Structure 1
Amino acid sequence: MAAHFLRGVHISERAIQYAVGVAGGCIFGGYLLPHGFFIEKYKRFLQAYKDGLPVPLSPQLRRHVDAVLDDAAVDAEERQQLRFFTAFGADPAHAGETGLRWGAVVGLPQTFAFANAEDVAASGFVVGGQKVAWQSREGALLSHGLCLSPAGQRFAIARELSLARASHVYADGAIGTGAFFVTYSLGRATNRRMGFAQRPLVLRLMLYTLVSLFGIALWTTVTDLVQHYRDSQADQAAAQLGATYAWGGVEFYEKMLERNRALRRLLGDAGERQYSAYGNELYMLRTPRMPVTERLETLRAYCERHHPRDEVAPPATGPDAEVAPPAT
């Protein structure tokens, strides 16, 4: 009955093209909204709160931010487009970009306040809703992985700054919209060439399903490749700010792998599904981010080429420690 009804419905070619154009615009807008009109809502979603109030950046972390902005030669006008805040969780995050009228927000995790194992234990940090036995092997590994030196923190800030300054919002929107138009064009051309318009509805649905799967595969492949390139460029941009940043990046990814390995054990079956034995994040069918081990080895090789260990002062530790200047 449904098939008989659909055969009686006639939609003009112009109406179809208009609908496809509107759909493409909606897809592009879907990428822009969280980084534009809704960026403050996105920031409030990521914001860390205590007693119902946003957690402010510590004075020490604010000094790190200012130092990174100086080292990256960010001018006063562009600084007005950047807003830093304390984010929940253990990973830095950002939204928007400095080239947009709405600017960019950069979230620095609460864990940047941890200077040692005592700070971690006193923070009330929980895993999977359960308290952590910090004296255990897994607890000690997690505690060590959560404590970053000022050099590691500055690398993380510089990395997120590089991503926030890149033109990724429009590019992501163009990729999603382009994949949609390619999918539509392929389905339309196949439909016409093979005469599927006169075939049974079931065959047409099979065609549209296969074409849609191709479009999804195209979108995910291009998106992942572009994101891998961005990750690599952001790491490189941060490392090029000096030896302290470069070796801080090595520390940052080493600690991330430690943290992930600890979470893999503490979370049980869920942890084994989420993290590999090396500490990389696990995904199904795709790899939306560069593996942490690959990023670590790339940075380590860069440091060995350009900043051998004997040229760099040992990383400072503690919440009030100053970062040693890069060797010249």
Structure 2
Amino acid sequence: MAVRFLQKASVWLKKHKITVVAVSCMGLLGTNLSYHVFPEQTFKLLHECWSQGQPAELSESLCGVFQDVLRDVGVESTDSYRAFAASGFHPVSAGIPWLPSGCLVGIPPNFDSTAQDKKGIVNHVVVINGRQVDWESSEGRALKEALTFSPEAQKFAIAREVVYLRSGSPLASAAVAPACLAGTFMCGSALKLLLGLSRGPAVLRGLCNLVTAMGGLLCFCVSSDAVTHHLDCRADRRAARLSQDYARGGLEFYDKILSRNRIFRGLMGKEGMKIYAPSGNLFPRHWFRIKYTPYTYRRSLIVNILRELQA
């Protein structure tokens, strides 16, 4: 029974393989874009900051900073970009500007803190390894300092998210998987045609399909990481080139992220050593992939841009 079903499925797939691949590519693209197309219903629910059982409100000062950034970046339709209070320690974003749902930029509570007033940090509970961080301890004071950003650093961090969305980066990132799937299918078909395996033994065809699939997976891993690296660096570069203040803010932003990660590495013990490198970068989760653009590299990029602007 099972053998007969597999034979029928194989015949059906051969007959409709182009349709199956096309539908699969569209499904992958739709899945990858889902939280950019519906950011209010997906992305915001995941990242929204809550306070006393209610969604936290963004302060007037941060709303003003957000509008200043939109003006500096040159956004004409400011209604397409909306800010909300997000959990975490640095801004996050999602959306496509020209869609009706627009874009959302999440700004974390620590951006409400200044060198004189740390309310945006100390009013929130941070638990690491099951223990609440004591803000008056040496590690707590160091973490407070690493989480406190100047207005310039805040503007840079928000600007890079706006630039990232404005330049169509979500679409480019989402297109990698379907492009690799379509490319794998075409390469597999061409390879079998060149080797004369289209009507050859099933074992050889299966081996060819396996090799092609492994090549496609490798291509996806390399392409995905390369596109992520390019899009991150492009957003950093464009945000830093807005002015010297933005470039200086970018340098401070990445300096403090590296400092924060080094503190987390110490507070988290063995688990922290697995996640964070001594430099403050994130360790790759897989030995053959680098999903995150190293913060040290991004910092070096900002340093070079600042030197150019000062020259």
Q: What TM-score do the two structures reach when normalised by structure 2?
A: 0.89
Per-residue CA distance 1:170-204 (angstroms, 9 max, x = gap): 32333221100111122233344252764355x65
Which residue is 1:295 aligned to?
298
Identity %: 30
Residue 108 of structure 2 is aligned to residue 109 of structure 1: yes
Q: Which runs of 5+ in 1 are unaligned?
A: 309-328
Residue 220 of structure 2 is aligned to residue 219 of structure 1: yes
Change (3 A) 1:2 1:252: same
Q: Is the 8 A contact 2:39 2:103 kept in 1?
A: no
Mapped partners of 1:99, 1:3: distance in 2: 50
Change (3 A) 1:21 1:206: same
Q: Is the 8 A contact 1:55 1:86 kept in 2?
A: yes
Which residue is 1:305 aligned to?
308
3-state secondary structure, aligned to 2:107: strand
Which residue is 2:33 aligned to?
32
Change (3 A) 1:129 1:99: farther
Mapped partners of 2:124, 2:14: distance in 1: 62
Q: Is the 8 A contact 1:139 1:262 kept in 2?
A: no
Q: What is the Cα deviation at residue 223 of structure 1?
A: 2.0
Instruction: Indicate the RMSD between aligned Cα atoms, in angstroms.
Output: 2.4
**Count of aligned pairs:** 305
Mapped partners of 2:301, 2:174: distance in 1: 29
3-state secondary structure, aligned to 2:93: strand
Paired AA for residue 88 in structure 1? S
Which residue is 1:171 aligned to?
172
Equivalent of 1:199, from 201, 221, 238? 201
Q: What is the 5 A alignment of 1:1-328?
A: 6-7=6-7, 10-11=11-12, 13-37=14-38, 39-75=40-76, 78-116=77-115, 118-119=118-119, 120-192=121-193, 193=195, 195=197, 198-199=200-201, 201=203, 205-283=206-284, 284=286, 285-307=288-310
Per-residue CA distance 1:38-87 (angstroms, 9 max, x = gap): 54322122110112211111111111111112222222xx2111111111
Mapped partners of 1:14, 1:196: distance in 2: 13
Mapped partners of 2:196, 2:276: distance in 1: 46
Q: What is the Cα deviation at residue 213 of structure 1?
A: 2.4
Change (3 A) 1:38 1:198: farther
Q: What TM-score do the two structures reach when normalised by structure 1?
A: 0.84
Change (3 A) 1:150 1:196: same
Mapped partners of 1:19, 1:138: distance in 2: 55
Mapped partners of 1:216, 1:248: distance in 2: 38
Q: Is the 8 A contact 1:36 1:102 kept in 2?
A: yes
Mapped partners of 2:133, 2:18: distance in 1: 57
Q: What is the Cα deviation at residue 272 of structure 1?
A: 1.1
Q: Which has the higher contact order (CA 8 A, sep 6+)?
A: 1
Stretch moving more, 113-122 or 207-216: 113-122
Mapped partners of 1:55, 1:270: distance in 2: 30
Q: Is the 8 A contact 2:58 2:84 kept in 1?
A: yes
Mapped partners of 2:125, 2:39: distance in 1: 31
